[in-house]
Chains A and B, each alone.
Chain A
Amino acid sequence: QEQLVQSGGDLVKPGGSLRLSCVASGFSFSDYYMSWIRQAPGKGPEWISYITTSDLTAYADAVRGRFTVFRDNANNSLFLQMNSLGTDDTAMYYCARTWSSLDAFDIWGQGTFVTVSS
Chain B
Amino acid sequence: EVVLTQSPDTLSLSPGERATLSCRASQDLRNYLTWYQQKPGQAPKLLIYDASNRAAGIPDRYIGSGSGTDFTLTISRLEPEDFAVYYCQQRSNRQITFGQGTRLEI
CA distance A43 to B99 in the complex (A): 10
Among A10-18, A73-81, A83-91, A101-109, the one that faces the other chain is A101-109
CA distance A106 to B49 in the complex (A): 10
- Whether A44 contacts B91 by the Cβ 8 Å rule is no
* B21 CB to nearest A CB, Å: 14
- Whether B87 contacts A108 by the Cβ 8 Å rule is no
- Whether A45 contacts B44 by the Cβ 8 Å rule is yes
CB closest chain-B residue, reference A46: B98
Q: Would you call B82 an interface residue if the criterion is a C-beta within 8 Å of the partner chain's C-beta atoms? A: no
- Whether A106 contacts B55 by the Cβ 8 Å rule is yes
Tally A residues with Cβ within 8 Å of B: 22
In the complex, chain B residues whose CB is within 8 Å of the CB of A109: 43
Interface majority SS on A: helix, strand, loop or mixed? loop
* A56 CB to nearest B CB, Å: 10
- Whether A58 contacts B94 by the Cβ 8 Å rule is yes
Chain B: interface size category:
20 to 34
> Given A102-B91, A104-B34: A47 and B96 within 8 A (CB)?
yes
> Given A45-B87, A110-B43: A104 and B98 within 8 A (CB)?
no
Most chain B C-beta atoms within 10 Å of own C-beta, residue among A50, A58, A96, A106? A106
Indicate which residue in A44, A94, A102 contacts B43 across the interface (CB closer than 8 Å): A94
- Whether A45 contacts B98 by the Cβ 8 Å rule is yes
- Whether B99 contacts A44 by the Cβ 8 Å rule is yes
In the complex, chain B residues whose CB is within 8 Å of the CB of A102: 91, 94, 96
> Given A44-B101, A46-B98, A58-B94: A103 and B50 within 8 A (CB)?
yes
Q: Would you call B62 an interface residue if the criterion is a C-beta within 8 Å of the partner chain's C-beta atoms? A: no
* B5 CB to nearest A CB, Å: 11
CA distance A44 to B4 in the complex (A): 11
Q: Would you call B78 an interface residue if the criterion is a C-beta within 8 Å of the partner chain's C-beta atoms? A: no
